[in-house]
Amino acid sequence: MPRREVWHNGWWRPAHALASPNFGPRPAQTAVTLAVIHSISLPPGHYRGDAVARLFTNRLDCSAHPCFEGLRGLEVSAHFFVRRSGRVLQFVSCEQRAWHAGRSQWRGRDNCNDWSIGIELEGLEGDAFEPAQIQSLAHLLRALVRRYPIAEAVGHEHIAPGRKGDPGAGFDWRGLKRALREGGPRLPVIEDRKA
């Protein structure tokens, strides 16, 4: 029996697909060389709901919670969303430009959306993430590296310093490095965060 392809038109088959309308074409001849890791929860610190998926698909009822009011009219997306359980959802084909990074720069290049994959982790900036998320993220990053010329994975905090702080101090970069073993992208230099 022939082996089923893992990718189809930029969609990763192990992920649950929920197509977002919030994307656009990448600039011509632009290689995807960066993965950007974010964190999000809606409302902040609340997990297991569908508010993030609704936000990325323009179906969020902004009157459902006071903190949603500031999201009214916002059109954002990420390529992937990794739930606390480790389940992966995909909203935008990796062949397309998702709207996740905003004003950003990495290694002298602006507009990281043009040449990156955006991965949101269900979590709160600064808090710890679940081991299942780190394992799923490592699996996803290895798959991305096999499919695209991704050289590095960094946090939103690295490409938009002073403006963004996610995934934050609770994200275990060392744990991700261990989970990646071989075959993953380079990660940011990790300083000891000892008290």
Q: Which residues are catalytic?
A: 120
Q: Which two tokens stand for residue 59?
A: 């179906």
Distance CA 92, CA 17 (A): 8
Q: Which residue from 110, 109, 94, 90 is spatially nearest to 35, judged by alpha carbons?
A: 94
* Residues facing residue 12 across a β-bridge: 7
Closest to 67 measured CA to CA, from 46, 89, 82: 46
| Lookup: tokens for 171 | 């994200």
Contact of 43 with 65, CB cutoff 8 Å: yes
Q: Are strands 34-40 and 152-155 parallel, antiparallel or unpaired?
A: parallel
DSSP one-letter code for 68:
G
Q: How far is CA 58 from CA 19, 75, 164, in A?
A: 11, 7, 22
